[in-house]
Structure 1
């Protein structure tokens, strides 16, 4: 399963951060760090970062609503690639999203790719991914290497 396969509706987002890939990787794969930038409820994030490993998080919306999310890791290449499967109610297969990390000296280029079944699903997924990248950018800018 690849996030760019099929005839669906795709998006690609790119962001370059002034931090090395290992710090970006840790932010994506360490539960307490992920919760701090990904709008997750404290204590709700679980991650078993290996192919077939599961993840869970409860996202908190600006109006206080909570949405539990679950899925699994489809591909894992430390400091380089995460392909994350997200469980979608009513769909037999997880929705895959690829997050690529490309280090360029002290900077890291992140590329997020996903293909969805409908334009509405793509637009919602792209909006959510943009919010994640915004949160990650702010978190890492103020993280001071911790």
Structure 2
């Protein structure tokens, strides 16, 4: 098992980064899920769900927010169609007009590491694109 840790500095203040990360309308855009399929209750114990379209067909995803500290930290789970639960977290640091986000996904099986890491970079690139337009 390996951990994935990716640090990104976004050219936006913390409040904007948090908003684009957590609000349903923005999440749908950067996560790649049609808005009607997105449900998001960003609070400790809240749940989220979304359906993304893949070449193999629609894939329902969802999970629970285990920890939400506004403008500081999110810990959430994701459960895919196979029922496997993945835990992820993001720490947000205010740098004035910029915001550092440290994304972490622990215990990635070695056989999935390269594909999972590429997926993390893809989703963070998508987030940066939506953030720039927000």
Same-fold status (TM-score > 0.5):
yes
Over aligned residue pairs, what C-alpha RMSD do you find?
Answer: 1.7
Give the TM-score of the pair, scaled to structure 1.
Answer: 0.83
CA contact (8 A) 1:58 1:68 kept: yes
**Partner in structure 2 of residue 104 of structure 1:** 95
> Any idea what SS the aligned residue of 2:128 has?
helix
- Give the Cα–Cα distance (whole angstroms) in 2 for the partners of residues 117 and 47 of structure 1: 25
Give the TM-score of the pair, scaled to structure 2.
Answer: 0.90
- Give the Cα–Cα distance (whole angstroms) in 2 for the partners of residues 41 and 64 of structure 1: 17
Q: Does residue 42 of structure 1 match 2:48?
A: no
| Structure whose residues are more often strand by fraction | 2
Query: Which runs of structure 1 show a deviation greater than 2 angstroms over 4 or more consecutive aligned residues?
Result: 63-66, 88-91, 120-125
**Partner in structure 2 of residue 139 of structure 1:** 130
Query: 5+ unaligned residues in a row in structure 1: which ranges?
Result: 1-7
**Partner in structure 2 of residue 84 of structure 1:** 76
**Partner in structure 1 of residue 3 of structure 2:** 10
| Structure whose residues are more often helix by fraction | 2
Deviates more, 1:21-30 or 1:121-130: 121-130
- Give the Cα–Cα distance (whole angstroms) in 2 for the partners of residues 57 and 48 of structure 1: 12
